[in-house]
Structure 1
Amino acid sequence: MHRAPAPGGTFPPPRWATAAAHAVSLIVLPSSLWRIALVLGFPAGYTAEGFVPFQTLYAQLAMVLLSAASEFIVLLTFGLVRPWGETAPRWIPLIGGRRVHPLAATVPALLGALGLTWIWSDLPWWWTYPHDDMTSTGGLVVGLLYLPMVLWGPLTAALAVSYWRRRRHG
Structure 2
Amino acid sequence: MALPVVLLLHCLRRLPFGVNFQMGTVDPAAPPFPWWGPAYIVGLSVLTEALALLTMGLVSSWGEVFPRWVPFLGGRRVPPLAAVIPATLGGLGLVALWDPMPRAWFGLLGFHEAAFTNGWWKLLARVCVSPVMLWGPIVLALTYAYYKRRRPV
Same fold (TM over 0.5): yes
- Compute the displacement of 1:148 (Å): 1.6
Matches of 1:118 and 1:48 in 2, distance apart?
Answer: 24
- Compute the displacement of 1:52 (Å): 8.2
The verdict on how the C-alpha distance between 1:40 and 1:162 changes in structure 2, with shifts beyond 3 A counting, is same
SS in 2 for 1:158: helix
The verdict on how the C-alpha distance between 1:100 and 1:110 changes in structure 2, with shifts beyond 3 A counting, is same
Q: 1:6 maps to what in 2?
A: none
Q: 2:87 maps to what in 1?
A: 109
The verdict on how the C-alpha distance between 1:44 and 1:126 changes in structure 2, with shifts beyond 3 A counting, is same
SS in 1 for 2:16: helix
Matches within 5 A, 1:132-143: 132=115, 134-143=117-126
The verdict on how the C-alpha distance between 1:82 and 1:63 changes in structure 2, with shifts beyond 3 A counting, is same
Q: 1:9 maps to what in 2?
A: none
Over aligned residues, Cα RMSD in angstroms? 2.5
With structure 2 as the length reference, what TM-score do the two structures score?
A: 0.83
The verdict on how the C-alpha distance between 1:132 and 1:79 changes in structure 2, with shifts beyond 3 A counting, is same
Q: Could you report, residue by residue, the CA deviation over 1:106-125 in whole angstroms, capped at 9, with x for unpaired residues?
A: 11101100000000121113
Pick from 52, 55, 58 the counterpart of residue 77 of structure 1.
55
Is the aligned partner of 1:98 residue 2:98?
no
SS in 1 for 2:58: coil
The verdict on how the C-alpha distance between 1:56 and 1:90 changes in structure 2, with shifts beyond 3 A counting, is same
Pick from 145, 150, 159 the counterpart of residue 133 of structure 2.
150
Matches of 2:6 and 2:133 in 1, distance apart?
Answer: 9
Return the structure number with greater relative CO, CA threshold 8 A, min gap 6: 1
Identify unmatched segments of 5+ residues in structure 1: 1-21
Q: 2:150 maps to what in 1?
A: 167
Matches of 2:6 and 2:30 in 1, distance apart?
Answer: 24
